[in-house]
Amino acid sequence: MDNVTISLVSAAGMMAVAGGAVAWWRRKTGLQFKWFWAGAALWTVAVILKIAFATLTNQAVLLFMKARMLHAVFVICSGALVGIQSSLFEIGLTIVAGRIWRQLGADANRAIGIGIGAGAFEAGLLGVGSLVATALAIAGVPGTEIVRKQADQLAGTTPLFWLLGPVERAIAIACHASSRALVLLGTTHRKPGMVVWGFVLFAVLDGIAGAAIVSGKMGKVSMWWIELAVLPCAIVSIPILRWCYRHWGAPRDSKESVEERL
């Protein structure tokens, strides 16, 4: 079995992680699907705005920095720029939404579910995109040669490369959930420290990923090193989520109205 065919496992794994995260939280809390979709909608709007802004500004800014900094300094500063920029859009929009619709952070079940919805939607889209691209490459559709080349390159540098996608998405979903739970609960319950830490956590996650991209090491070293670098963000997310759930969790299958919650 060639590397492109094996990549189907990675695509299916990302979709399984997405569906599994939503199913697990819904089973645990009885949360309605609309709150997962609210997270997906917030993520979609934020990413569209983020991509548009980055397309207009990032190339010029990064080239300016690269011409004036030592490579190591450039990588660190570029990662910080990407992380802060990403958090400004994704977490910033979540904060704005939490201030407008305070019911989003009414309890931890809902706030965490919104975060899971955002991360799961991203994972699902990536999984579907990967599945389609891989299927087209297997079918030998013209123009998909690069997909086969990328699969071979990844397999050559990264052991068990077919596990990379699911693991990466599991880490990302945990961080999406914890950062959004912190900012939504912090906004609703007037805990500015929680908002700040939620913003910082997400900035660190995307900052590490951004630094890896601009470092020039992508495709040259095992991608597991990058996952190892972001793993602490997921590890920290676990006690954060447990703490949020214990302090602001709502009863399973709660039928309270938004007004009663607030």
DSSP 43-112: HHHHHHHHHHHHHHHHHHHHHHHHTTS-HHHHHHHHHHHHHHHHHHHHHHHHHHHHHH-GGGGSSHHHHH
On whether the CB atoms of residues 178 and 185 are closer than 8 A, the answer is no
- Model pLDDT for residues 203-227, shown as the tens digit of each residue: 999 999 999 888 888 878 899 999 9
Domain ranges of the chain: 3-250
Hey, how many other C-beta atoms are within 10 angstroms of the C-beta on 259? 8
Express as a percent the part of the chain with pLDDT over 90. Answer: 78
- Give the separation between CA 237 and CA 247, rounded to whole angstroms: 15
On whether the CB atoms of residues 31 and 25 are closer than 8 A, the answer is yes
pLDDT average, residue stretch 173-179 = 97
Tokens of 133: 């691209």
Quick one: pLDDT at residue 256? Answer: 43
Quick one: pLDDT at residue 2? Answer: 85
71-100 and 33-66 are packed helices; what angle lies between their axes, rounded to 10 degrees?
150
On whether the CB atoms of residues 120 and 173 are closer than 8 A, the answer is yes
pTM confidence score: 0.91
- Give the separation between CA 143 and CA 1, rounded to whole angstroms: 22
Q: Is 140 left (phi over 0), alpha (psi -120 to 50) or beta?
A: left
- Model pLDDT for residues 55-92, shown as the tens digit of each residue: 999 989 999 999 999 999 999 999 999 999 999 999 99
Q: Is the pLDDT of residue 251 over 70?
A: no
Judged by DSSP in three states, 221 sits in coil
* Mean pLDDT, the chain, integer: 91
- Model pLDDT for residues 45-56, shown as the tens digit of each residue: 999 999 999 999
Q: Where are the alpha helices (DSSP H) in the chain?
A: 3-29, 33-66, 71-100, 108-138, 145-157, 164-188, 192-214, 224-248, 258-261
- Model pLDDT for residues 119-142, shown as the tens digit of each residue: 999 999 999 999 999 999 999 888
On whether the CB atoms of residues 141 and 18 are closer than 8 A, the answer is no
On whether the CB atoms of residues 25 and 112 are closer than 8 A, the answer is yes
Judged by DSSP in three states, 31 sits in coil
pLDDT average, residue stretch 217-246 = 93
